[in-house]
Structure 1
Amino acid sequence: MIQMNRPSSKVIRSIVQGIVKVDSQEKQELGRKYAFALGLSPGPRGADGGIDGVGIVKGNKVYFQCRLSRAKLGAPVADSIYGAAQREKADVIIVLAGVGYTKPTPSNPKSGFENCLRNRPDGDDFKLHLLTLSDIYEKNQVFDDALADLPGLRKITRKDWEERE
């Protein structure tokens, strides 16, 4: 078996910058493909109701949402994802961001993307994985932690995707 080296951080930055610059329709399709590659069932094409992928893993409902924006994801996106995950009755929420998530600030320690999801009455009732494109391509610990709650990675060929569609 041929072992391929992980891309350099410069190559990963270039990949991420290229992906976040594509049009929104292509980003939506990429979200569905990432869901499939992560072993989930991709959401519908077009208006998907905030669902890029779902699945059942070890008895837990997994909800996947991909937001490949050029800016860090903040509270409004967290609110939207929370609503969709609640409708799906998700036990595990996995979010894939283009470049990252807002963080709490010294003046507002309850702010930030993750706090917006967690600071709710049921904020401890779900497991949360916040991934970035860099995590996916680096295959780092954040990515490995998320994989523990997923069915397993799939390689996708163009033929596989076309047959699935």
Structure 2
Amino acid sequence: MNRPSSKVIRSIVQGILKLDSQEKQELGRKYAFALGLSPGSRGSDGGMDGVGTVKGNRVYFQCRLTADKLGAPVADAIYGAAQREKADVIIVLAGVGYTKPTPSKPKAGFENCLRNRPGGDGFKLHLLTLSDIYEKNQVFDDALADLPSLRKITRKDWEDSE
């Protein structure tokens, strides 16, 4: 099957980013289910869209579908939730991406915020964007190595999981 064109992927991403917060939360739970993880609860999920144990590793999944790059405040929240879940693998799905270090702030940026903490080198980290999952690129393939086989889900599969 052919991958969608970059124009189609941009349209899909823009459509998802325009969803209301409840629809985005539900979509995050569905992504977790498709990734073979147990979806978080509806409503206030305590910062967890999915969790599971894969190949002996505790996997924590968080989906933040905003039109802005994810920065330090989100990294702080994800770090705390991942610590509570005792995660060995953290997978984050962002709408458009993550802040990066700058020459004037070399320790800034989303990933540095997660890594420069106690135990920050003790987990595997996959930072995905919506584009990555629809392009099915190398970043996506690398994350799949730490997950069970992807599930193709139907509406009935999802309803049965609830």
Q: State the TM-score, normalized to the length of structure 2.
A: 0.99
- How do 1:1-165 residues align onto structure 2 when only pairs under 5 Å count? 4-165=1-162
Aligned-partner Cα distance in 2 for 1:58–1:162: 27
- Sequence identity (%): 89
Task: Deviation per CA, 1:68-104: give whole Å up to 9, x if none.
Answer: 0010000000000000000000000000000000000
Task: Deviation per CA, 1:33-58: give whole Å up to 9, x if none.
Answer: 00000110101111110110001011
How many residue pairs get aligned? The number is 162
- Computed over aligned residues only, the root mean square deviation of the Cα atoms, in angstroms, reads 0.5
Deviation at 1:121, TM superposition (A): 2.1
Aligned-partner Cα distance in 2 for 1:104–1:53: 28
Query: Match for 2:9: what amino acid?
Result: I
* Partner SS for 1:62: strand
Deviation at 1:144, TM superposition (A): 0.3
Aligned-partner Cα distance in 2 for 1:152–1:124: 26
* Partner SS for 2:107: coil
Aligned-partner Cα distance in 1 for 2:152–2:85: 26
Alignment gaps of 5+ in structure 1: none
Alignment gaps of 5+ in structure 2: none
Q: State the TM-score, normalized to the length of structure 1.
A: 0.97
